[in-house]
Structure 1
Amino acid sequence: MTLAIQIIQFILIISILVILHELGHFIPAKYFKTKVEKFYLFFDVKFSLFKKKIGDTEYGIGWLPLGGYVKIAGMIDESMDTEQMKEEPKPWEFRSKPAWQRLIIMLGGVTVNFFLAWIIYTMLLFNNGDTYIPADSLKYGIQVDSVGQQLGLLTGDKILAVDGKKTKKFSNAVLQIILGDEITVNRDGKEITVPLSDEGKASVFEAQGRNFITYRKKAVIDSVIPESAAKKAGIKAHDQIVGVNGRQVDYWDEFTDVIKSSSDVALTLEILRNGKKENIQITVPEEGKIGVYPSVEDLRVTDNYTFAEAIPAGLTRTIQVLTDQIRQFKVIFNTKTGAYKQVKGPIGIVEMMSPTWDWTFFWGFMAMFSVWLAFLNILPIPALDGGHVMFLLYEMISGRKPSEKVLETGQIIGFVILMGLMVVIFGNDIWNIIKKFI
């Protein structure tokens, strides 16, 4: 059932985004009296699941869920319909329209994607506010695992800035660490700058970024597992561990480090319960776990917005998401980080979906993915919107149209590039699944 919910969310998000993106091309094309022959959700290779012709346009649903398209008459596109291009241009064809109209038609999709994200972020901020953990409220600093240590960070560090810029949110600080070049921290009362190495980032991506950094917390028990060693020893919720075998313990990571290294060892835990200190004897099981969970201090704050405030805040969020996505390419194309191995396709994206139906996640993911689609489509690669825009800008600047042969060749090259990327992306998805069973 969980997988079904994830798949349904993914298909619904993709369907909405594709339809709206293609509408971004369709509406200006119709406005400029350009004939649109097809409007399809998904690709109809050889056959379609549904189709109906209304006026000059065939509307349909294809069977291959890798996007969608509008086929505009008189335009060299992924259909590679060159027969039509051999005929004399008709006034209702794309190629007969002024360059500025053709440019508006080609920019329509990414424009819709950008404004859709802006609208969604605006409404989310207006309805839900913005809840986050302030980066400067981590009074005990950060806690890192071995992967975080390879980046040059240490447990107890307090984040001051990444690439010289102070970060408001702790979650954003984590992302900026992955994308940045250096981090400034307060370590033992001294301000130092740590370079973020490619080798360290490679470890982060290999571990898929899971919990390499979190915030440090006191060694306070939240709950105890029934029938566990801790339960049998008499440890209770809200107990605070202050010492182990006479050694002072302040933080949860210090406590768990001792437990993990004390398999089959008898320990004396000094706890603080109801303001009084007590000693508890416990023998750590062979697996190095005693069956307790930490109490997590709720450091979250929520910024609320009026509708008027949410509009510019939504725009700022959209631009920030776009900026971060552009910066990711610097990391992805750096082979030392190995980030390209973690690029996700449809299978990987489905795994990212919420296991339960969560409308806040749904709309937030749609907004993020809408920005992502806008960015990918505007890349100057033939076969993408950005490729068409590139040729149109050349025409508008030089005053000369590229020949149809150049456009056809560019379309073929772009198609080969995109298919190559799809092979890599699907290969990553399949390999990541295989690794789970190795």
Structure 2
Amino acid sequence: MARSKTRSGLIAALDIGTSKVCCFIARREKGEAPKVIGIGHNMSKGLQSGSIANLDAAQEVVLAAVNAAEKMAGHTIDSVIVNLSGGSPESETHTVELPLGSRPIGNLEIRKLNDQKEAVLRQAGDELIHTVPLGFRVDAATGLRDPRGMYGSVVGLDLHFVRTQTAPLRNLETLLGRCHLGIEETVVTPLASGLSALTADQRDLGATVIDMGAGTTSVAVFHGGQVIYTATVPVGGAHVTRDIAYGLNTSLNHAERMKTLHGSALTSPSDDQEILAVPVIGDEDENNVNHVPRSMLINIIKPRLEETFELIRDQLDEHGLSQIGGRSIVLTGGASQLNAIADLASQMFERPATIATPHGVSGLAEATAGPAFSACAGLLLRALQQQNDPLSEAMNQIRQSGGRWGRLGAWFKENF
């Protein structure tokens, strides 16, 4: 069944990032993509590297974004599905196993594996925010969607966990509590971005999505329709802006403007000939500027981006995910809009790289249809996503296989 939906039939998504806060309110008619009917977004305050640093400031911008979306939609909301950008989320895999006798695998074994999974979750604690059943295994065979009827020595269930630090989760709950909003689900940012930036075929065949935010850069690897790995590095577009401000002795506002208008991830032969005017920091005289070649600006930007991609590449290599993550890299997030960044990513990862915008939702205005809004759109899709992992499908079939007498008969068949 769908994960969350308000009683009024509306879905609300809240993307809280280092540089912006965005709220989408959407309605979904049966058989159609969710249609966004309310949008609110503004610059962030009180956040640092994806985590809440000042509750009062963060509360102000969250309320402003939510109120703007409610006003546009003509409805109020009392709960949201929200992203988590900070907290240093970590992926880990876990397998629960069950020895088999001489009989084929049946519903009883599936139930026992589900019980083992629930026991693991109870022991895991509050810092576990995602649990994804990846597939069943029978002896050496892995990635099975339904092992019932098969024979073997051991049947198992492979699980993907995403853990995060407890404090950022508590701070997020406190922030939304102060805004009188309940939390339907907390979703790590790269998972949300992957749902809107990738097609269903990409998620099934294997794809790697890199969400480039202001305070952090995060990656999610999809395969078999499920997310199998996530990671975050504490480097983002804001670090590039600070590098420019420091290197060119200018203000952060001017540095951001220069990055947006003249920045690039790669150099070109004409960069030395193009001269840029750089206002001096702290000087009120607008005519007092330094003149530098564009190549100087790019030579500040490029090393930081190379460092970011190297950190992500090392994470993928360390976990053996370079191949299973597909033959292409998909970039999204606000910092992915820099000129030639896909070309640099293609060089660094030695495979094609593209920039993706959110899809799967309708009603987005032109200003909110770019890569910077992939996470918020993905949260809407997550709210409506059907639980189609192998364990959920098997358990649903078991629950629907007859009434009380049918289940009693199945129990006798499995046990005698």
Taking structure 1 as the reference length, the TM-score comes to: 0.28
Report which of the two has the higher share of helix: 1
More strand by share: 2
Larger relative contact order (CA 8 Å, sep ≥ 6): 2
Q: TM-score, normalised by structure 2?
A: 0.30
Structure with larger Rg: 1
